[in-house]
Each structure stands twice: as C-alpha cells, then as structure tokens.
Structure 1
Amino acid sequence: MKARINFQDTNKGFFDGLFKSGAYIKNSSITPVLQELINFRISLMNGCAYCLDMHFKDAIHNGENPQRLYSIGAWRECPYYSAEEQAVLAYAEEVTEMHVKDETFEALQQFYNKQQIADITLAVAMINTWNRLNKAFLTVPGDYKIGQHN
C-alpha cells in the first residue's frame, strides 16, 4: 500500500487547527483512557487502519486492557465497560452517525455536565476528521510510535 498524500506534502499550517483542537481535548476533563476508548471505537466504525494502529498503541501505553479494545465493537454485550463508558460510547457512535437520540444524550447527562459533553462531542468530531483524512490520503498503518504526533 502506498499513501496518496503524505502529511509532509501538505502546506505549512494545514494541520494547525487540528493540532490546536487536539491539544485542547488532551487537556480537557476527558481522561486519557476515555479519550482512547472514543478514538478506538470511532476509528473501528470508520475502518481507519492508521488510527486503529495509533490508538491501540496509545491506549495500551495509557494502561488500557487489550481485552477492552479488541472487544469494543461488541461493548454492549461486555461486562467490563462501566455505565459511564457505555453512555459515552453510545453517544460517540450516534454523533458519528449524525443522529443523536434524546435518550442517549440524557443518559450522558447522568455523568457529565454541558461543558464536558461539549468536550466529548469535540473529541468525537476530531477523530472522525482524522479518520476521514487518513482514509482519503491512504496513510499507511503499522509504524506509529507512541507520542509521535504530540
């Protein structure tokens, strides 16, 4: 597989806004473990191989259990996701599908305030953006190193 566009081939500043938003999310109230669960689940939904490679490695580095990652596609049937994580995963999926149900939003409000939900929503939007760029550019997976994009 060969990349269509390498990130180095883009104009200076192309990624500035994305990296700034990423830094905001990284420093938000969303824990690193939850951020990686969101990133991994949405990357799996979108079939982004590069992002799956990166977020698997980052999640393991942050202390995530591999079992929770390889079974995340079936999170509703697994006993090892908390009610809070289930609410976030359901919401993240619906934001990705661009149809958030009232009951899903209400379930999330049991755990998070409006600002935190806004942060989660931005995190979901960002991973969707990265998934689309990487899939369109055919970014080659497999060589990502922890912290490479920090």
Structure 2
Amino acid sequence: MSQRIAYYDVAPDGMKIMMDMEKYTKKSTINRVTRELIKIRVSQINGCAFCLDLHTSDARKMGETEQRIYCLNAWNECTFYTPEEKVALELSECITLIPTKKVTDDLYKRVREYYDEKQYVDLVLIINQINSWNRISIAMGNTATEK
C-alpha cells in the first residue's frame, strides 16, 4: 500500500509539532543508541514496519550490532543489554502496553537508579513520541520498501 495522504502537506502545523518534539528528544542526554533501541522495541510491539525499517537502519549506522537488534523481542533474557537499557526497554513496554502493563512504583524506582528526573521525563517523551509516529505511519499507510 502506498501512503494514503500527503499529511505533511495537509496538516503542516500539526506535523511541525511532531518534528519539534523529535528535535527535543534528539537533544536529550539519553544515549542515542538507547533511544534507537526504544524506538525499535516500541515499533515491534505496535507492528510498524515503516518505523522498524527506519530505526533498525539508524541503529546500524550508529554501530549497533545485528545480534542486539534481532534479540530486542527477548531483551529481558539477554545478557548483552546494559542494566540502563533493560530498564528503559521495560519502561517502554509498560507505557506502550498501558492497558495490560503499568508503570509501577517499583519500576519507577529502578528507572531512577540509572536516570535522573529530567532523563525520566525525557524517556517518557521518547517512548510517547515513537508511539505517536507508529500510529501516524500505520494510519497513513506508510510501509517499509525494499532497498
């Protein structure tokens, strides 16, 4: 399927807000590889092929290994993700799957062992941003294309 609507043309003000948030999250002190891992994991959960294609490519360009990209579905069973990455991925899953998972006080405390208050807020914004992009891409009919 091809893109249904040229949404950047139809709603430029709304898309500017999305892009401004993207710029903000890129300035975060959250490690850029961790940001990409979050984006990949959330896109896996949401089934967004377009975003998976984009963010796995970006992660590879940053030097991320194939093994770590392929194993994100089972991150909690792997020893090659850092504790910081694991807690960020757990937070990502809980926020993305909010009807069935919750951000508990225990999870919040574990996140705060590795991230300060500002970084916690930034993590939440990064997670929400990729959830928004996934939903926009899926609703607009964006697909991954063979390269």
Normalising to structure 2: TM-score of the pair? 0.92
Partner of 1:142: 145
The question of 1:100 aligning with 2:92 is answered no
The question of 1:128 aligning with 2:131 is answered yes
The question of 1:111 aligning with 2:132 is answered no
Partner of 1:148: none
Shift of 1:83: 1.0
Contact (CA 8 Å) 1:91, 1:100: kept in 2 or not?
Answer: yes
Rounded to whole Å, the distance in 1 between the matches of 2:80 and 2:6 is 38
Contact (CA 8 Å) 2:95, 2:127: kept in 1 or not?
Answer: yes
Gap regions ≥5 residues in structure 2: none
1:1-150 to structure 2, matched below 5 A, reads 1-98=1-98, 99-142=102-145
DSSP-derived class of the 1:2 partner: coil
Bigger mean CA deviation after superposition, 104-113 or 9-18:
9-18
Shift of 1:138: 1.1
Alignment-mate amino acid for residue 127 of structure 2: V
Normalising to structure 1: TM-score of the pair? 0.90
* CA root-mean-square deviation: 1.4
Shift of 1:103: 1.3
Alpha-carbon displacement from aligned partner over 1:36-86 (angstroms, at most 9, x marks no partner) = 000000000000000000000000011111110111000011111111111
Contact (CA 8 Å) 1:43, 1:127: kept in 2 or not?
Answer: yes
Rounded to whole Å, the distance in 1 between the matches of 2:142 and 2:18 is 17
Gap regions ≥5 residues in structure 1: 145-150
Alpha-carbon displacement from aligned partner over 1:72-122 (angstroms, at most 9, x marks no partner) = 000011111111111110011101122211111111010011110000000
Taking only the aligned residue pairs, the percentage that are identical comes to 35
Contact (CA 8 Å) 2:8, 2:15: kept in 1 or not?
Answer: no
Contact (CA 8 Å) 2:33, 2:64: kept in 1 or not?
Answer: yes
DSSP-derived class of the 1:13 partner: helix
- In proportion to residue count, which structure has more helix? 2
DSSP-derived class of the 2:90 partner: helix
